[in-house]
Amino acid sequence: MAQTDYTIFEILQMDACTGCSLCADVCPAVSATEDGKLSGVYRINELRRIMRSRTGLLQKFFGKQALSQELLKPFSDTVFRCTLCGRCQQICPSGIRLKDLWLSLRQDLVHCEAYPQKVDMIGENLAESHNVFDEDNEARAEWVEDMPDAPDHGYIKDQADVVYFTGCVSAYFPMAQTIPMALVEILDAARVDFTLLGEDEWCCGFPMLGAGLRDQVKDLIDHNLEAVRAKGAKKVVFSCPSCYQMWREHYPKEFEIYHVTQFLNELITSGQLALNELSLTVTYHDPCDLGRGSGEYEAPRQIIRSIPGVELVEMVHNSENCLCCGGGGNLEMIDAGLSSDIAKAKIGEVLQTGAQTVVTACQQCVRTMTTYARRNKAAIEVMDITQLVQKALAGKDRPGIG
């Protein structure tokens, strides 16, 4: 616990904060609540105070009180009400890796037993059911049964060149299941030799990090690596940016990994996918974990521009400055109201573009924006980029799924 939850680099970076408050200016939680205690600058100042109380004379003065749950709990409530969108890190003039620091801080608070109760639920679900929603993991690929003309093998083969790692949200939420349905149809059309892992796919571990349970991730990583090895695959494709970022940063570099936008862009540019014209004006929402988290901004835009007839109009805030949708960092579980308030700002900016459709590349973004738009009768269609490509598949005589 305490200092051991942080790397030496993170401890040194804590003192690099100049208090400029630029992080507060761009924080979606601060903008939605007008509560400065949700800002990065407040968080890092409190963290430095806590760290000082744990060492030297201050520790002797405060004693155990410095680490008491009574003192830490109010601070913990602000720490976990964050989407981990990374805008604070992107704008920080001191170059502090704030997102990594927030993950270590969450782990510290868990070890201090000062954290929201939902954290226990996340940990228990992943340990027992291997998915964050506590669903039957044997049902991970049941969405295939809802597809017309699905193959007998249900896209689960003994061996394949490519593994499509579906992710928990796409596997279990009906609103998001249309995304893997669209993708497998695209991969079939491009004659890609791929397989699902089915029940052998476990959560990637990203929700564990966000919950402050970093020290419990190893079992999930080891299992997923072995499941992919068993398929003899060389490549792994993710439609979930969080899964992609998790594999990119925390899994060993054993396989070629692709976010679906990168993979589809290669299929289109190589001529493996032929696309029909669509008459549609769209705007594109950069998922936080794909854009700021993984640095991928161009592949999705290249896909959109490759579809004849589709016009792309950018939002005021786009690419590295894109506004978060409110769906990240486990915030929906911790504070659903705040998540919705952040989505409100996102949909407001989408509507200002005049586009018919907002396209994104993340099933959680699709869920969050669609839920807000439906509840508030916003005149906008929300679509994942795989669904957009599916609609444009050459030779199709029916609209896309979903």
- At residue 394, the pLDDT reads 67
Bigger pLDDT: 299 or 274? Answer: 299
Residue 19 has pLDDT above 60, yes or no: yes
Mean pLDDT over residues 1-18, rounded? 86
Tell me what pLDDT residue 149 has: 86
Q: Is the pLDDT of residue 56 over 90?
A: no
Q: Is the pLDDT of residue 397 over 80?
A: no
pLDDT (mean) for 364-383: 96
Confidence of residue 381 (pLDDT cuts 50, 70, 90): very high
For a pLDDT cut of 90, what percent of the chain falls above it? Answer: 89
Q: Is the pLDDT of residue 130 over 90?
A: yes
Runs of H (alpha helix) within 237-335: 241-250, 260-269, 298-306, 331-334
Phi, psi (5° rounding) for residue 102?
A: -65, -35
Grade residue 289 by pLDDT with cuts at 50, 70 and 90: very high
Mean pLDDT over residues 175-198, rounded?
96
SS3 at position 383: strand
149-174: average pLDDT: 95
Tokens read off for 106: 């969450």
pTM recorded for the entire structure: 0.93
- Phi, psi values for residue 165, rounded to 5°: -90, 110
Q: What is the mean pLDDT of residues 301-308?
A: 97
Q: Does 400 score more than 50 pLDDT?
A: no
Q: Does pLDDT of 342 surpass 60?
A: yes
Q: Does 68 have pLDDT greater than 70?
A: no
Alpha-carbon dihedral sign for residues 127, 132, 135, 140 = negative
CATH topology of domain 272-391: Rossmann fold (3.40.50)
Whether the predicted pLDDT of 402 surpasses 50: no
Task: Determine how many CB atoms are found less than 10 A away from the CB of residue 226.
Answer: 10
pLDDT of residue 67: 54
Q: Which CATH superfamily is domain 2-115 in?
A: Alpha-helical ferredoxin (1.10.1060.10)
How confident is the prediction for the chain on average, in pLDDT? 92
Q: Give the whole-number percent of the chain exceeding pLDDT 70.
A: 93
- pLDDT score recorded for residue 4: 83
> What pLDDT, on a 0 to 100 scale, did the predictor assign at position 395?
58
Helix ranges, 129-202 (H): 168-172, 174-189
| 83 contact partners, CB below 8 Å, separation of at least 6 | 28, 29, 288, 324, 326, 327, 328, 329, 331, 339, 342
Indicate the pLDDT class of residue 2, thresholds 50, 70 and 90.
Answer: low
Burial class for 107, CB neighbours closer than 10 Å (0-12, 13-18, 19+): buried
Is pLDDT of 278 > 80?
yes
Q: Are 43 and 121 in contact (CB under 8 A)?
A: no
In one-letter notation, the amino acid at residue 145 is E
pLDDT-derived band at 319, boundaries 50, 70, 90: very high
Which DSSP state fits 400? P
- CATH 3.40.50 describes domain 119-267: yes
**Sequence spans of domains, the chain:** 2-115, 119-267, 272-391
Question: Does 119-267 match 2-115 at the fold level?
Answer: no
Q: How confident is the model at residue 71 (pLDDT cuts 50, 70, 90)?
A: confident
Please say if the pLDDT value at position 1 is more than 50. no
Given a cut of 70, whether residue 115 has pLDDT beyond it is yes
Query: What is the average per-residue pLDDT within 139-144?
Result: 96
Q: What is the pLDDT of residue 134?
A: 93
pLDDT above 60 for 255: yes
The number of angstroms, rounded, from the C-alpha of 36 to the middle of its chain's C-alpha atoms is 24
Say whether pLDDT at 288 is over 90.
yes
356 within 8 A of 362, measured Cβ to Cβ: no
d(CA 39, CA 24): 5
User: What does the pLDDT look like over 210-254, one tens digit per residue?
Assistant: 999 999 999 999 999 999 999 999 999 999 999 999 999 999 999
Question: Is pLDDT at 9 greater than 50 in this prediction?
Answer: yes
